[in-house]
Structure 1
């Protein structure tokens, strides 16, 4: 039964694998580049394939190898990452690239244990790289895999308690031969057929073995615990411009948007304390809103036409595309209100 299921899925994958820029097509005879596998896995954390594709292509065009990335300037990499979110990933990306370049001769370790010693690589990412890049029989479980396994085995325990039996189900079916293709096949099955809503069960290579489909409960699985309501934080954002330059500062390395170039702000809390970065007649432009993983943020945007010398940050030319999304929204608000360009 195990071998039959694995064989059926791999046959399906050979004909239906997604065309992704970081992937080596099945049957091509080529081995995946560990650098491209690692880069894609870091980018895909908490982010969709559609959002990652353009960033991946840009990164690999500018920095085609891990040693190229390791030699890059922090600000250049953080700017290229802007808009992709979860900025700690970008900081760890650089740390990891530099460790691989300096301590491993530019070659990634080829085992889960070795990969886990690198900055920014946790259990899932280590398993994914080991399986996909090095064809190790590692157990790879992402959101798509959770959904497929919960349905195949009809695991009705709510997440996150269901993670253990889901992992056990994936481990049971992971083959010694082509484990990397198998991991990607389960991911593709979840992304294209075993979707959260309206799964295409009649197209699925595992339809006859799927316990949830046979019971008529496929769309209800996996069961998820109710989400907690996200709190709302507020803050003040300060926009000041002199000619073609804007008042900018680099955010602290630790914390949200760490290390990113940004407009000055106050603290983000229920009752933020004003923190103007310069003496000026600040006036209100409006609000920008953004949602992070654990809270909603509302920033009141204040602008000044003739600010005094700044007490923090410095005036510099600005490429808005290098700003985190919430700050790009503020820049767009000012552009719309006043017709000012970049």
Structure 2
């Protein structure tokens, strides 16, 4: 595997990166396969913290106009620190740097296999990727050079706090439960707020989500028992009613990403958080499934695998299954003198063609 940087000559003010744009459940992930120089740090978490602290202009460049859209995500492929992993990836979104994401993992794993970064094997293939949260264990089902499904299992999820409340303008007191699933999620009963979680409600969900997260943040911890500081509350997950299925349950769902974004997909981490909460409430058993359905009608399938512990918390392992689709292969160019881009910390991240 080759980890290369920009091909522009030394001293040149132009930089370029190569992208594979993917979508899973409607959420677009821009996979950066080439153009970023070496990031200090051994683990992917250490590399993430470096670019977060010293190169956040990279995230803003690719997610903001005129080069990007805050509804997208960025996945930067980096060398893994863990010898068990075949590749690492750093996730960047409008809210910052989530330590794990289901839809981004599905997209990144698919891009890695379909573009030969890790050679694809026909049939079932095992792949291990290192996210900032730890190892993601992936089963890919491949046929004819295409990845037909990805099942990913990340680190355990757990209920971190119950009986929390936020006072939200125009809605009053809104109860919620805090769950860790690669990030902290505020789990909210959608029906109690009058939401049906359908497409036409997405603007109203985004407005409520913004007001709710801002109101809820003071009550929410910014520390993970093992990973340390993880920043302020980034997500709210709206839970619809549970409908029985042959293997478990199905539920309309929506995930809000601060600031102002409702995901097109039901999100893998949101689904995992719901599984952890359901298990904690005695609503679901090992081996049962939860299919979450987004307001746009896309779905992910979550399966509860069994119990675990995280820093003294009772946790669960689970896996998420979905599929990603290629949208585009592109080379993005940046003139560091472009007045619409804050390039103050980009030159070092993008390198100079070494």
Shorter chain as denominator, the TM-score bin is under 0.3
More helix by share: 1
Higher relative contact order (CA 8 A, sep 6+): 2
Please state which structure has a larger fraction of its residues in strand: 2
